[in-house]
Amino acid sequence: MAEAEDQGSSIATDYVKLVSNDEHEFILKRSHALTSGTIKAMLSHPTTYKSKEMNKVQFREIPSHVLCKVCMYFAYKNRYTNSTSEIPEFPHRTRNCPRASHGC
């Protein structure tokens, strides 16, 4: 039972939830979110930026279509950092953006 609890807490700390000003939630790997120095600072100062829920950051001025694109960039950056293959251009259109709670 303790092993299951340890695994559950590991999963909880491996992911973060970013919440847009229109209350859409984006769940992504913590390592991807830490691409941003700003988010890294926000997660390290819980009383200032995070809600009471651990690993959650509320962005009061960022709409979901922008935050979605930010999440997509984090995944792109993580995928192609130190890559030896040709790096494709980052897609700039927002209409293909997955919506809230689908993860990034």
**pLDDT digit string (tens) for 51-97?**
556 788 999 999 999 999 999 999 999 999 998 989 888 887 655 56
Whether the Cβ atoms of residue 58 and residue 22 lie closer than 8 Å to each other: no
Parallel, antiparallel or unpaired: strands 56-58 and 15-19: parallel
Mean pLDDT of all residues in 5-15:
62
Neighbours of 86 (CB within 10 A): 6
CB environment 19-56: b (16+ within 10 A), e (fewer): bbeeebbbbbbeebbebbeebeebbeeeeebbeeeebb
Residue found by looking up tokens 């293959």 in the block:
85
